[in-house]
A and B are shown apart, each in its own frame.
Chain A
Amino acid sequence: MNAPKSDLLQGTLDLLILKTLALGKSHGWGISQRIQQISEDVLQVQQGSLYPALHRLEKSGLIAAEWGASDNNRRARFYELTAAGHQALTAETESWHRLSGAVGRVLEAV
């Protein structure tokens, strides 16, 4: 049974993935761990959404995948940002800042 969609909107999840990968190549598990760590456990990525998102980003050409060996020598699929991915990340980050800034101002004004 499909679990209800994650708390993170699809677009936001994509953004987080891109950012995480900007910090370096990683596999799916690593990405979810990193996001959890950096956000100090506030953001927990639903596994059900992560992998479809990764495949979607790969299809759009923003990230690229290859098989490799993990730290404990297991076969894992590693993802990294492409040039297009870097561009998208910059653009999306800007938008995000603009949006959250605006929301913040509205909240403070009350």
Chain B
Amino acid sequence: MASQSRTFDAPKGRADLERDLDDELRFHLEMEAAQLATRGHSPDEAATLAKRRFGSVEAVKEDCREERSGYGFELFGRDLRFGLRTLARRPSFTIAAVLTLALGIGANAAVFSVVRGVLLRPLPYGAGDRLVALRQADPVAAVADAGFAAQELYDLRQGTKTLDGLVEYHHMWFNLLGRGEPMRVRTGVVSHEYFAVLGVAPLLGRSFLPQDEAHGAPPVLVLSHGFWKTAFGGDPQVVGEVFQMNDRPHTVIGVLPPLPPYPDANDVFMPTSACPFRSAQAMEESRTMRGLSLLGRLAPDSSIVTAQAELAELGRGMAEEHPEAYDQGRAMEMHLDPMREVLTSEARPSLVLLFGTVVLVLVLACANVASLTLARLQARERELALRRVLGAGKGRLWRQLATESTLLALAGGVVGLLLAVPVVELLSRWASGITPRADEIRLDGQVLLFTLAVALATGLALGALAVLRSSGVDPGQSLKAGARQTLSGGRLDLRRALVIGQLAVSAVLLTGAGLMVRTLVNLYRVDPGFETTNVVKARLDLNWSRYRNAPQIATFWSSLLDEVKDLPGVTMVAVASRVPLGEPLASARLELRGEAPPAGTAPRIGLRLVSPNYFETLGMGFVEGATFSPADDAEAPRKAILSRSLAARHWPASSPLGKELTLDGGDTWWRVAGVVDDVKQDGLAAEISEELYLALAQSPPLSGNLLVRIEDGAQLSAQTLRGAVARLDPEQPIVDVGTLEELRRNAVAAPRLISTLLALFAGLALAITTTGLAGLLAFQVSQRVPEIGVRVALGATPGLVRNLILRQGLALVALGLGAGVLGALLLGRSLSTLLYGVEPGDPWTLAAVMIVLFATAGFACWLPARRAAHVDPMAALRSD
């Protein structure tokens, strides 16, 4: 039983089908006319009557065509060509619409690239979402991340069933010799199965094997991708090369693919057996020397929850068996953080804010184009009415208008993507400061798909809007000769509503930008407690194998101080183990002589080893006592200097000078020699921390920061410093040469970029809105020209007319502002994590926003109002 339609006609072309349809209907009409003729009408009458009875032949033909082919390619092609022709006929409208949409769609594409790279893209590790970072917190010393000791790692590894891989990591700085100048390389020291657990396969060569981690195994290195590219030019022959590190030959066995710089931006990796510190027996057997980070991989059948519980259990077990290794015998608190969280949590709030903002900007842009489209529709009323009469159904018109607006949106999408390219570049540079995943940001396939989807959605929405508005008009009215363009109330109301919406959104964006700018200003104004001008800093990490004991290290630092002091332009030099505004806090637990150890959690104290001139170099003042003297060397009694807040906590009423304290439970005692002003150590927005300063000469560190104060206008180049260091030790690298001023500026880099972007987007929003507002008012004026003519003829002054129009516009502005302020207050709460020194509902910012918006919008209303005032009444009345 065939279900095919048995057309006896051979397949025909379009022209033939048209002719057939024509013939078929004509036959019907002739038969009808014939029938009528038999009933007494004249042939002419009959024909006319038949036609009238039949109705619109064109409409029927159109319907038949549709039934035959549905929405086939033929119709689509026709729509496309017609759409292109229509758009080409009005270039000003087309260009304005495309540019506006390009701005909106482009901004979305750019921000989406970042969101995709940082938040959405799967992790670049094979084990991806099964990776977790372990952290143990010391409840007694109030340290959030105490690190792990080697024996703890071994116990955990043996006891865990929920993790099928547990690896260690820590980083050290080593000097790499054998390629021209000595290079300081950040080295990741890891378990042999580190990369296997992460699920990373080497790009070249191989990764570590169990035998590489065996005690006494020949040292091997794996290079990171970035280091391989920059230091070795991507040389594929690098595998097998040998370098001197820590006075031992190390062989390169492999190169890694590009990976995020987590946990640090390492240049090379080595197994634990190759690291002299880590492989020392004392470290291997220790339970208390905690410096390791642990990464784990969840077993296929376990979850974070079960792993967390198991690790807590194991932690408690360890504390029970070895209470001497834990503060007051209390077990550490185990934490498991999914890798994705660790890599993205800092960036997420800012990114979500940015994305919300650009979506709003797109909505604004669409509103403008919608308004423009509605205005154009009015101009096209006659054309559309004609088409309706000629048989186009509503669905047909919708398709036509939708095709036009989709073409506009797609063109906007293409231009937008081009605009987005430099913006993505800028954004990823910013993102690298708040997430290690910044390298994964790019305009890839998903971004293109997203842009396409946004463009299509925009086009269809605009098309739907246009049709909704146009279907309410009666074509008969429009076609009457001489009919003026009617002020269709519904359409105008919609445009008014759009403008009010735009004003509200602009107000919200401006408020957000204003709050961020104030945050930025507040951050700039924060007094860090030390002078940042004219201070050069640099970092040196000493070669442990050359400077093996405290006296050797101390000698190096003091020789360095002497050497640098004599350089031209230098007024003062100091060395410190940490730079303020730089690295995170090292902590110590303080006990005072004669007092019981503090119960419960003790606050974290910052520990800093400094040379005597440190405080003066940074312009820090003393509250009591004085700085270390040259006599405070290794043989002299140990001295300590407290920060003001630390002194206030322990000796609120009396002076701490001369009192004694210990940091290692009583083995060594320090005597307080002075109290110095507080500084901001952890970044400008953080709280002031309590600091303890010890003499560099008495506890010399292997890594130190050189701080050099120079005269106003003097210059101190990295070259000069390097030369000074080379005179002492030609194989000692010196790095991170910069100024404290730069450090301070970098501390505000993130909020600075957000404020800039928000301000930019808010400005864009304002521009889009004011042009929309001006356009709407200009349109309204043009509609009311005859009415204005009458008013003027009846005696209205230009001032009166202008005020009439102005009042109309300002009413819209007032409504928009009101809605906007409400919106800003509601949404402001979501910003609070990013703000500093200013509340989301800050009245000053809101007031400023209202003034700015009122002024610009008011100006936008002023221009058309002025034009209205100069309408010539005679010309107006004549133009009817």
The answer to whether B67 touches A2, judged by C-beta atoms less than 8 angstroms apart, is no
The answer to whether B55 touches A47, judged by C-beta atoms less than 8 angstroms apart, is yes
Q: Which residue of A55, A75, A83, A87 contacts B23 across the interface (Cβ within 8 Å)?
A: A75
The answer to whether B59 touches A48, judged by C-beta atoms less than 8 angstroms apart, is yes
The answer to whether B63 touches A77, judged by C-beta atoms less than 8 angstroms apart, is no
Q: How far is the CA of A14 from the CA of B27 in the complex (A)?
A: 21
The answer to whether A84 touches B3, judged by C-beta atoms less than 8 angstroms apart, is yes
Residue of B nearest to A78 (CB): B8
**Measuring CB to CB, which residues of chain A are less than 8 angstroms from any residue of chain B?**
1-3, 27-29, 46-48, 51-52, 55-56, 58-61, 63-67, 70, 74-77, 82-84, 87
From A29, A60, A87, residue with most partner B Cβ within 10 Å: A29
Q: How far is the CA of A3 from the CA of B59 in the complex (A)?
A: 9
Q: How far is the CA of A59 from the CA of B31 in the complex (A)?
A: 25
**Measuring CB to CB, which residues of chain B are less than 8 angstroms from any residue of chain A?**
1-9, 20, 23-25, 27-28, 30-32, 53-56, 59-60, 63-64, 66-68, 388-389, 391, 393, 475
Q: Which residue of A28, A48, A83 contacts B1 across the interface (Cβ within 8 Å)?
A: A83
Selected A-B contacts with CB under 8 Å, 25 pairs: A1-B59, A27-B27, A28-B27, A29-B32, A47-B28, A47-B54, A48-B54, A48-B55, A48-B59, A48-B60, A51-B24, A51-B64, A52-B67, A58-B7, A59-B68, A64-B6, A66-B8, A67-B20, A70-B27, A75-B23, A77-B23, A77-B24, A83-B1, A84-B1, A87-B1
B contact residues around A58 at 8 Å (CB): 5, 7, 68
Q: Which residue of B5, B9, B30 contacts A74 across the interface (Cβ within 8 Å)?
A: B30
At the interface, is chain B mostly helix, strand, loop or mixed? helix
A contact residues around B31 at 8 Å (CB): 29, 70
Q: How far is the CA of A84 from the CA of B5 in the complex (A)?
A: 9
Residue of B nearest to A65 (CB): B7
Nearest 9 CB-CB pairs, A to B? A52-B63, A66-B8, A64-B6, A56-B67, A55-B67, A29-B31, A84-B3, A61-B5, A48-B55
Residue of B nearest to A47 (CB): B54
From A46, A70, A76, residue with most partner B Cβ within 10 Å: A76
A contact residues around B27 at 8 Å (CB): 27-29, 70, 74-77
The answer to whether B56 touches A1, judged by C-beta atoms less than 8 angstroms apart, is yes
Residue of A nearest to B63 (CB): A52
A contact residues around B6 at 8 Å (CB): 64, 82
Q: How far is the CA of A59 from the CA of B7 in the complex (A)?
A: 10
The answer to whether B53 touches A47, judged by C-beta atoms less than 8 angstroms apart, is yes
From B4, B25, B27, B53, residue with most partner A Cβ within 10 Å: B27
B contact residues around A27 at 8 Å (CB): 24, 27
The smallest beta-carbon distance between B35 and chain A, in angstroms, is 8
A contact residues around B24 at 8 Å (CB): 27-28, 51, 76-77
B contact residues around A64 at 8 Å (CB): 5-8
Q: How far is the CA of A93 from the CA of B847 in the complex (A)?
A: 74
The smallest beta-carbon distance between A103 and chain B, in angstroms, is 29
B contact residues around A52 at 8 Å (CB): 60, 63-64, 66-67
A contact residues around B2 at 8 Å (CB): 82-84
Q: How far is the CA of A87 from the CA of B391 in the complex (A)?
A: 35
The answer to whether A61 touches B3, judged by C-beta atoms less than 8 angstroms apart, is yes
Residue of B nearest to A56 (CB): B67
Q: How far is the CA of A76 from the CA of B30 in the complex (A)?
A: 11
From A46, A52, A65, residue with most partner B Cβ within 10 Å: A52
